[in-house]
A and B are shown apart, each in its own frame.
Chain A
Amino acid sequence: EVQLVESGGGLVQPGGSLRLSCAASGFSVSSYYMNWVRQAPGKGLEWVSVIYSADSTYYADSVKGRFTISRHNSNNTLYLQMNSLRPEDTAMYYCARGEIYDYWGQGTLVTVSS
């Protein structure tokens, strides 16, 4: 059974950092496109980042230069390192599998506030 479980969210001050994790089971994260998608409170879905093939990566303009996506085959986990966080980064962060997002995690909440 495919499962994605995010962790690492929390309350952080503006300018701070967090690392989100997405532990996968039932498949290998190295074999699929893997994405981060976020949803600000009461708002719609916003794609954040993708990692695919030989660890090629892309980022939304809103996070480029501040966020880094990576994956580790040893523990089958996807990561999102978030630096220089801003209040507008406050959102539920989901990991999702594939170019077509066929499986999603339950999300982890990031709150950026002083």
Chain B
Amino acid sequence: EIVMTQSPATLSVSPGERATLSCRASQSVSTNLAWYQQKPGQAPRLLIYYASTRATGIPARFSGSGSGTEFTLTISSLQSEDFAVYYCQQYNKWPPFTFGQGTRVEIK
């Protein structure tokens, strides 16, 4: 099973600042990596797939990068609606599909 590890667990950021979230895979997943955003009481929403492709309707301030075992989600200028929990997920080798434990982005 591929283990996904996200860091940090919590990120405190002021509105307008940049946020950088990390995700590490226990073995290479190529670029078969997705990022999801989840707000309280809501289902997750797909942000990024194939490590760097924005999903439909996702603002350009969200960007993904990386390949192999190291990945980054960057939010260039945090808006109030971006404060949420973010999960990475690999779909390169399954079953199982595996998620990271999440990074909570909170208001500083």
Contact = CB atoms under 8 A, between A and B. Distances in A.
B43 A106 contact: yes
A94 interface: yes
A35 B34 CA distance: 15
Interface of A: 35, 44-47, 50, 58-61, 94, 99-107
A100 B96 contact: no
Name the interface size band of chain B.
Answer: 20 to 34
B67 to A, nearest CB: 16
Contact of B55 (A45, A46, A60, A102): A102
Contact residues of B: prevailing secondary structure: loop
Contacts of A104: 43-45
A50 B46 contact: no
B62 interface: no
A46 B34 CA distance: 14
A59 B34 contact: no
Nearest to B99: A45
A100 B46 contact: yes
29 contacts: A44-B99, A45-B36, A45-B38, A45-B87, A45-B89, A45-B99, A45-B102, A47-B95, A50-B95, A50-B97, A58-B94, A58-B95, A58-B96, A60-B95, A60-B96, A94-B43, A94-B44, A100-B34, A100-B50, A101-B34, A101-B44, A102-B46, A102-B49, A103-B46, A104-B43, A104-B45, A105-B43, A106-B43, A107-B43
A100 B91 contact: yes
Contacts of A60: 95-96
A44 B98 contact: no
Nearest to A106: B43
A59 B94 CA distance: 10
A109 to B, nearest CB: 11
B10 to A, nearest CB: 13
B97 to A, nearest CB: 4
Given A44-B99, A100-B91, A104-B43, 12 more contacts: A44-B100, A44-B102, A45-B36, A45-B99, A45-B102, A50-B97, A59-B95, A100-B50, A101-B89, A104-B44, A104-B45, A105-B43
